[in-house]
Amino acid sequence: MNRRTMITLSIAGAAGTLATTKPVAARISRSSADDSPEMQAAVTAGVSYFGSRCEAQAASCRRLEAAIRTGDLATARNAYIEARPPYEEIETLAYAFEEVDGDIDARPYAFDGGETDENFRGFHRIEVLLFGYDDVSAALPYAIRLNQSVAELKTQLAERERFNAAGQFGGMLALTNEVAAKKISSEEEAWSDQSLLIFKHNWIGACSQYLPFDGLVTRADPAASRQVMVAREAALATLKPYFQSGVVAATPYTEVAFSERRRMADASNRLRDAIGRAGRSLGVDTASS
């Protein structure tokens, strides 16, 4: 069972969000042709936005590789942090490119050998090397491989048949649930201490995929639309004190009080539930698609 399937299964515990649960592949097996033309347009708009974010990701990963090549640890660490936001948004749709997602963003626990497994690569391998071991030179081959993986991601984002409305909403639900259920406990960015940056861009990414559907939701259930917008603003507001204008990096997560972490988790759960209601208003059945 892969990471995305595990996360999706955890949604079953969210009261009122999903009535039943199946592995990701089973839940999104239906064709995008089953969606109405309006739904297809919303899916296309969301995926197209992530295409532009992938371009930004490619550029930032090239800068990361260049920074690592300088051999300067501080420069490489800063480039790593600045490279993180785009994919943390794009991973909303990881159901459609699970293998590439693993290459880019899998954590050590996804591999039998943990941190020393030869298949452990991507951002988190680079994070361990730069922040855990202060080893710039060892990170270079992983930075090169990361650029190759991002190029493959760009190709797969252009394959429109991979995506459909049930998958989009399932991805939004899975990611907002993951923030509260797993990432708040700091299994994310344990070495760079930048977990807040991940929460922020997970929420931005999930909401970016909701927004193309919002006109349809407003027509079907205006209150559901308002609930998503309120929940989005409330979630981002929990992070506002920890970011400075024009600076990508956040306050180190280890400096955040447990009471504030609880507020963030609750906000992510409310955003998840609001998105679930919006999806149901459109008849998007993420539990049985």
Structural domains in the chain plus CATH codes: 3-281 (1.20.1420.20)
Query: What is the Rg, in whole angstroms, of the alpha carbon atoms belonging to the chain?
Result: 18
50's tokens: 């992530």
More confident residue, 26 or 199: 199
d(CA 263, CA 261): 5
140, pLDDT greater than 90: yes
- Confidence label for 287 from pLDDT (cuts 50, 70 and 90): low
Report pLDDT for 1: 41
> What's the distance, Cα to Cα, between the start and end of the chain in Å?
20
pLDDT, residue 27, reads 41
CB atoms within 10 A of CB 151: 13
User: From CA 73, how far away is CA 78, in angstroms rounded?
Assistant: 9
What pLDDT, on the 0 to 100 scale, is given for residue 136?
98
Name which residue leads in pLDDT, 84 or 5. 84
Average confidence (pLDDT) over 268-280: 98
Average pLDDT of the residues in 93-100: 97
Rounded-to-integer distance, Cα 261 and Cα 196, Å: 10
Write the pLDDT tens digit of every residue in 225-267. 999 999 999 999 999 999 999 999 999 999 999 999 999 999 9
Distance CA 230, CA 234 (A): 6
